[in-house]
Structure 1
């Protein structure tokens, strides 16, 4: 049987990059997937995630969502449950960055990054837990939350102050949810990607930044969205039966070096 057969998953930022890979992987393993994003088409170009899933015989819908808006998050989970009946896996992946240090960061930039990367994860986790508390457990679990953090939640992200601070907050948020809601049979874990090559614009694919990441990463290649999706699949499945509150590194050994 597929690892996520009969499971319902919401993936924020599911139109592009890591979120797209997670959604495709979940669908391939039997999950019905709700793609939540600001736009439906991927920044990498090509077909939308929902279209790819349906073409492969899977089930998916798209819900336009700004996770920094509580009403939008409330509507997202409401739409998922109205369509599929429950929520088994909440993947908090959507994130933004400014590439600015402390002095360069404007109050507006700070508020926007924290609004999406931290408050948005709070909103999505809160609304997901509200739904999970209202549904019966399956195989001893009412639901699972997977937060995409970053290696930069543990070590500084040179030149990007608000992003790194927000990712550090996500790591602690994961622990807090895991501890507070274990008795409710709700699982919460995080995945901390290292350098992952995506279609993300700007400094993320700057040649100097890529060279630094290659020299910093022990494994002889940089990561791909599929690498992160494999870890997410494990944490979303019943294989992760006693895994709670971890921040799983998917970084080619970056943090070990």
Structure 2
């Protein structure tokens, strides 16, 4: 129960990595508010809140488009209204976009991806810090932010110009917020997943990912969730860090 009595927001928590983070945080005692554009699970199955309730945890869902400040503001307000404070903000919501190189990337696709993957993280960090600054220091922190970046924000990925740029922005925002608000006892870190098995990946992509990953398996959403849990609980002298969860991909 490493998060007992804590309140956490997880954006994009209905599916994939966000779903795994929300479920693990709830199992560790957190009250979780999921912000997403739909409760539908992309991989199929029961809504995340229903699964958490079945496990004996506490979770609520609120519609939230992270590219809209009013939605992010309302999300944080809801968490505080329900549970009195916000302790952890996980900015996970992201989209892949068209997945094409520079000359095939349209302005509309660029704007759409950046609105979620970059501006959404900016909004989430800003609104969380606003709330944290109204709260007393408890233990080592007023509040903790965990951004979900990607290895594709650190190295080039064929055909993923907009996605990689947005994830690079998430990694940079993490460092800047960490430095600017360290004196206020606010911790801001990121988790950078490698190849994580979500959705329905095509066989060619899996073959390439296996060839690039030193470990004998690819990642699972729970691997990323465990790293997020560490940063949201035990890490008291870690801030501005972008934690790779990639099976050794970036070391190879």
Smaller-chain TM-score bracket? over 0.9
Q: CA RMSD in A?
A: 0.7
Q: CA deviation at 1:140?
A: 2.4
Q: Choose the corresponding residue for 1:219, options 212, 215, 228.
A: 215
Q: CA deviation at 1:209?
A: 1.0
Give the alignment of 1:16-35 within 5 angstroms. 16-35=15-34
Tell me whether 1:42 sits opposite 2:41 in the alignment: yes
Q: CA deviation at 1:245?
A: 0.5
Secondary structure of 1:113's partner?
A: helix
Aligned residue pairs total 251
**2:243 alignment counterpart:** 248
**Partners of 2:223 and 2:197 in 1: how far apart?**
10
After superposing on structure 2, the runs of 4+ consecutive aligned residues of structure 1 that deviate more than 4 Å are none
TM-score (norm 1): 0.96
> What per-residue deviation string (whole Å, max 9, x for no partner) do you get for residues 116-171 of structure 1?
00001101110010000001111020000000000011101111100001111111
**Partners of 1:49 and 1:21 in 2: how far apart?**
9
Give the alignment of 1:102-113 within 5 angstroms. 102-113=102-113
Give the alignment of 1:31-110 within 5 angstroms. 31-98=30-97, 99-110=99-110
Secondary structure of 1:60's partner?
A: strand
Q: Which runs of 5+ in 2 are unaligned?
A: none
Secondary structure of 1:97's partner?
A: coil
**1:228 alignment counterpart:** 224
Secondary structure of 1:210's partner?
A: helix
TM-score (norm 2): 0.98
**Partners of 2:102 and 2:84 in 1: how far apart?**
45
